[in-house]
Structure 1
């Protein structure tokens, strides 16, 4: 194959005409054909017509092996010479009129190579046009394309087109056929005048089923096919909300109504995701539907920077398209530090239901950790008095002293 580029360059530089004592032939020096398809090579020639004998034309293929110069007859109008190509090569036109076009059907990889034309007319005209050869380059197999120009709606008629991008001049017209489960019902119809056009009325259960278009040029020829999966329109489903804070930590992923408790000043990201065909329009609202105003969001992402107590409440994400809608809500409660000393990075706690608390918020205060747990204590930003703080510190000190006393007595008892 390394010799092919040099061979093509030599042919293109020498031109496609050969003139020798009245012999002349015009043909393309290089022809490309796709495997399994058909190719037409236009050709005309001239020769000295001094004899009344019949004119015969012959197309020969040269061996692709450099050490073997054997020539193979592939097409002729002389039926006494039977070519070995079984009718796939045809000499098109009458050589007596200077016509020498070549038609090749069901092109195969083994057809690639160099071809030349020869004319015979009695004893005086026997000439091979070896200066005007044709090189046939066979390319890879191509598949048809299936186009669905608009969404397929359940129980509505839609159009599916099968397109095969190839040139069919002087070649057999392609035949189209369809295959797939949707064709076994009355919900499909193939156009009589355009078999490449299919009308279908899919149902929701036809989602992701296979549909195949097949193309064939001859009854015994190669079959070209393409398979796609149908995308039938459906209402939004699998709606979920992921809630995270500014550092990317995911607090919760939910698909049903839920409650979330966060610390005042934290920045939240609420991302809403749903699946549907056609794509879902996502929107966020605050407060009960449908009177609530729509919040500014992009692609289902709602940002709440440095949340404050007046921003707590119910947030609802709604997914909607032409076939239906789905929504999910989250109730956010904002907790404050309640004047328990200097600000320290607190841990947060999340409640999956108003009746139960799964975690807690802890603030370090002078070496002590004040922990709120067990019950859903309401969040409040009202400052607590100093007596509350003193009592909490005393209580913690007493508990620590009791622990140390118990530990000391136990150690003395077992050390005796």
Structure 2
């Protein structure tokens, strides 16, 4: 650097206008004024100190009482005391009180880099580097630019005390350093300033990290990834993005926002999923929103669970027996019917029964139609199965002993009609009715005992001796009641009553689950 020392002095001889040349000298203290060499002078016939040549300059005009001194490229060796001496003809005088003290310290000035607060990725930018030169001389400076954002090191030299550099910032340049270095005239000193680039850029990538049972998996999907979990397990999802400034994050499931973050959260958003249920499955999307461009990533979570049979039913229709069964599970279950201990799968049709099945997502639906005129004592079951387990609902067809026999109903009506006659006739009718009831109950009871005996073991096919062909009255396994003595016609009516067929929706075990439902006829 340089130093400028303003200086004035006074001597009476300077008041005389005698055209005598006035010489001024600056000496380092301790130098002999006659035999020694000055540091600076306007006397061209005096040699100056070698290490001061070109750096120490007497700027002032001694004839005008001006002794100002200039020092350029100051060095630590320049530190010390100096005195001024003037000569005019025979008048010579050295000013030693006070002495001039020059203190050379380390250079603290640094170049200044003008840079916008934020650079935008992809947009060209020009930066300026300026060195605060105050010495007033056009000296040669050397500027050097260094940084990862530059394709190569850039250098320039000249008398100018500033330099420019142009480049196109990219996302990878964010946070990198850029340095401007200035080498001072003479090449002995250099100063530099380093800045950190702040580059704004859109979302570069979105990653999803899954923590499950103390295990961590990282997904960086382009479109979507899948994850299989068991019902009841817990997950911790973490969404992370790379953008500047940080993007606003949202966890979304079926158009519903589950969690949100602010840009100040450094592009990280957690989502806790405890005790997962089947309805928690779906496509979890992390949406990163940024003013320069948004991006998203998805993780499809499939919650696997054992089959659950919903809304099973059987009904007696004109053509025979019609049963329906719906099973829900993940992965999608298989569904089949068991008729009298024999499996019936898929879509099957013959002269005796017809099975119609279809699948839709986690659902399997099926209907079983059995053509029969009368209902044998038979066992039907609907079975849903997948790798997570098996669920079975078993239907047991049996007579309903709690129903009042139709003969009794008809006899009661007949008794009431006869009651309008004589009391004696009424007594006779009541006696006949009681005898008829006793006979009828014995027949029904006998049929019930045989039915119970045949289905005592639910695992044994209850119709192994039967055919699924349409059953004629002669083939009915139930005893045919004797014709009533009064000659009244008897008609057989059947209805289906379910007792205790409840769906176990909380079943998550892989052990087979069997539920029983009894179908009674009257």
Shorter-chain TM-score range: 0.5 to 0.7
Distance (whole Å) between structure 2 residues aligned to residue 151 and residue 89 of structure 1: 45
Larger radius of gyration: 2
Provide the residue aligned with 2:272 in structure 1. Answer: 304
Provide the residue aligned with 2:5 in structure 1. Answer: 41
Provide the residue aligned with 2:419 in structure 1. Answer: none
Q: Is the 8 A contact 1:178 1:211 kept in 2?
A: no
Q: Is the 8 A contact 1:172 1:218 kept in 2?
A: no
Distance (whole Å) between structure 2 residues aligned to residue 205 and residue 71 of structure 1: 65
Alpha-carbon offset, residue 104 of structure 1: 1.7
Alpha-carbon offset, residue 150 of structure 1: 4.6
Question: CA 1:227/1:111 → structure 2, altered by over 3 Å: closer, same or farther?
Answer: same
Provide the residue aligned with 1:79 in structure 2. Answer: 44
Distance (whole Å) between structure 1 residues aligned to residue 10 and residue 201 of structure 2: 67
Distance (whole Å) between structure 2 residues aligned to residue 377 and residue 60 of structure 1: 106
Q: Is the 8 A contact 1:61 1:73 kept in 2?
A: yes
Distance (whole Å) between structure 2 residues aligned to residue 386 and residue 306 of structure 1: 19
Question: CA 1:386/1:93 → structure 2, altered by over 3 Å: closer, same or farther?
Answer: closer
Q: Is the 8 A contact 2:209 2:218 kept in 1?
A: yes
The answer as to 2:250 corresponding to 1:281 is no
Q: Deviations over 1:28-83 (max 9, x none)?
A: xxxxxxxxx222222233334366543322223348xxxxxx98632122222222
Tell me the secondary structure at the aligned position of residue 285 of structure 2: strand
Q: Is the 8 A contact 1:176 1:196 kept in 2?
A: no
**Runs of at least 5 residues in structure 2 that lack an aligned partner in the other structure:** 306-330, 333-385, 391-503, 515-522
Count of residue correspondences: 301
Distance (whole Å) between structure 2 residues aligned to residue 71 and residue 313 of structure 1: 96
The answer as to 2:323 corresponding to 1:200 is no
Question: CA 1:124/1:254 → structure 2, altered by over 3 Å: closer, same or farther?
Answer: same
The answer as to 2:99 corresponding to 1:129 is no
Alpha-carbon offset, residue 120 of structure 1: 3.1
Distance (whole Å) between structure 1 residues aligned to residue 187 and residue 293 of structure 2: 50
Q: Is the 8 A contact 1:284 1:302 kept in 2?
A: no
Q: Is the 8 A contact 1:62 1:72 kept in 2?
A: no
Q: Is the 8 A contact 1:112 1:135 kept in 2?
A: yes
Q: Is the 8 A contact 2:201 2:245 kept in 1?
A: no
Distance (whole Å) between structure 2 residues aligned to residue 73 and residue 261 of structure 1: 92
Question: CA 1:294/1:200 → structure 2, altered by over 3 Å: closer, same or farther?
Answer: farther
Q: Which structure 2 residues correspond to residues 396-407 of structure 1 after superposition, within 5 A?
A: none
Distance (whole Å) between structure 2 residues aligned to residue 74 and residue 113 of structure 1: 12
Q: Is the 8 A contact 1:285 1:315 kept in 2?
A: yes
Question: CA 1:205/1:302 → structure 2, altered by over 3 Å: closer, same or farther?
Answer: closer
Q: Which residue of 287, 302, 305 maps to 1:318?
A: 287
Q: Is the 8 A contact 1:284 1:318 kept in 2?
A: yes
Q: Which residue of 481, 502, 506 maps to 1:383?
A: 506
Tell me the secondary structure at the aligned position of residue 133 of structure 1: strand
Cα RMSD of the aligned pairs, angstroms, is 5.0
Question: CA 1:130/1:321 → structure 2, altered by over 3 Å: closer, same or farther?
Answer: farther
Distance (whole Å) between structure 2 residues aligned to residue 157 and residue 218 of structure 1: 32
- Higher mean displacement: 93-102 or 231-240: 231-240
Tell me the secondary structure at the aligned position of residue 110 of structure 1: helix
Distance (whole Å) between structure 1 residues aligned to residue 95 and residue 116 of structure 2: 53
Q: Which structure 2 residues correspond to residues 11-30 of structure 1 after superposition, within 5 A?
A: none
Distance (whole Å) between structure 2 residues aligned to residue 89 and residue 109 of structure 1: 14
The answer as to 2:223 corresponding to 1:254 is no
Provide the residue aligned with 1:90 in structure 2. Answer: 57
Question: CA 1:227/1:241 → structure 2, altered by over 3 Å: closer, same or farther?
Answer: same
Provide the residue aligned with 1:6 in structure 2. Answer: none
Q: Which has the higher contact order (CA 8 A, sep 6+)?
A: 1
Distance (whole Å) between structure 1 residues aligned to residue 106 and residue 294 of structure 2: 50
Question: CA 1:376/1:170 → structure 2, altered by over 3 Å: closer, same or farther?
Answer: farther
Q: Is the 8 A contact 1:144 1:225 kept in 2?
A: yes
Q: Is the 8 A contact 1:61 1:71 kept in 2?
A: no
Distance (whole Å) between structure 1 residues aligned to residue 215 and residue 25 of structure 2: 78
The answer as to 2:128 corresponding to 1:161 is yes
Question: CA 1:304/1:38 → structure 2, altered by over 3 Å: closer, same or farther?
Answer: same
Question: CA 1:104/1:295 → structure 2, altered by over 3 Å: closer, same or farther?
Answer: same
Provide the residue aligned with 1:110 in structure 2. Answer: 77
Q: TM-score, normalised by structure 1?
A: 0.55
Q: TM-score, normalised by structure 2?
A: 0.45
Alpha-carbon offset, residue 106 of structure 1: 1.9
Alpha-carbon offset, residue 167 of structure 1: 5.2
